[in-house]
Structure 1
Amino acid sequence: MTLVWEQLVVDAADPVALGRWWAEALGWVVVNDDPEEYEIRPAPDRLPGVLFGASRDAKPVKNRLHLDLRPDDQEAEVRRLLALGARPADVGQTGEEPWVVLADPEGNEFCVLGPRRP
């Protein structure tokens, strides 16, 4: 049996705006610009993608699933993402972690990791 991870689905109040934000943040391309199901991928023919689907449900609590991103330069990447519209997020971290928790424009948390340990 073969199983392929096709995409991650994210509920969004504004799928187009959130999808565009993540496409810019990740440097990915838009493969479907439907306002109800906006999808981005690393390249048009590369999986997995992220599909932003329309939802009227409010995000009540911290995400149970989040992305961990590992840049070459954590400090520079955090500055860039904040300039794009991310904001700092508090999910109970102590301040001693080697990652920074941010939230996208709709409040979905993600981590910007520090350098990989040898």
Structure 2
Amino acid sequence: MAVRMYHIAVDTHDLPSLARFWCGVLDWRILFEADDEIVIGADETALPGMCFLPVPEGKAGKNRLHLDLAPDDQAAEVERILGLGARRVDVGQGEDVTWVVLADPEGNEFCVLRPKTSLVD
């Protein structure tokens, strides 16, 4: 039996704001929008997408799962994403790492890696 990833579900207080932030980061677009769900993706046929869902509680603690982004130019992408509303965060990564830890406007951590030449790089 084959399985593939369909969506990454993201709990949020402000669906439109967080969905639009991630659209800007990933150069994706909104594929579906309702009061209780917003789905974004590269296009209607590309997988996976991201699905934003409302929750009443705030984020507590470090994410147990996070996204790693692989840019062509790490420094330029970090600055661009900061301009979209992200902020730098310290999750104990130290100063000698090759990635930059950021958080989206609701505090969800993600990493901007150094440029990659392969999946195992």
Same fold (TM over 0.5): yes
Please say if 1:87 is aligned against 2:87.
Answer: yes
Once the two structures are superposed, the pairs formed by residues 39-118 of structure 1 within 5 Å of their partners are 39-116=39-116
* Contact kept in structure 2, 1:16 and 1:35, CA below 8 Å: no
Count of equivalent residues? 118
Residue identity in the other structure for 2:87: R
Percent identity of equivalent pairs: 48
Tell me how far 1:16 sits from its aligned partner.
Answer: 1.2
Aligned-partner Cα distance in 2 for 1:4–1:93: 30
Tell me how far 1:57 sits from its aligned partner.
Answer: 1.3
| 3-state DSSP of counterpart to 2:111 | strand
Aligned-partner Cα distance in 2 for 1:83–1:24: 10
Tell me how far 1:2 sits from its aligned partner.
Answer: 1.9
Tell me how far 1:20 sits from its aligned partner.
Answer: 0.8
Could you state the TM-score of these two structures normalised by the residue count of structure 1? 0.95
Structure 2: which 5+ runs fail to align?
none
Aligned-partner Cα distance in 2 for 1:107–1:115: 24
Over the aligned positions, Cα root-mean-square deviation in angstroms equals 1.1
Moved over 2 A (4+): 115-118
Matched with 1:10 is: 10
Aligned-partner Cα distance in 2 for 1:37–1:86: 22
Map Cα deviations across residues 62-91 of structure 1 (whole Å, 9 max, x no partner): 100000001000000000000110000110
Tell me how far 1:27 sits from its aligned partner.
Answer: 0.3
| 3-state DSSP of counterpart to 2:90 | coil
Residue identity in the other structure for 2:13: A
Map Cα deviations across residues 87-117 of structure 1 (whole Å, 9 max, x no partner): 0011001111000000000000000001236
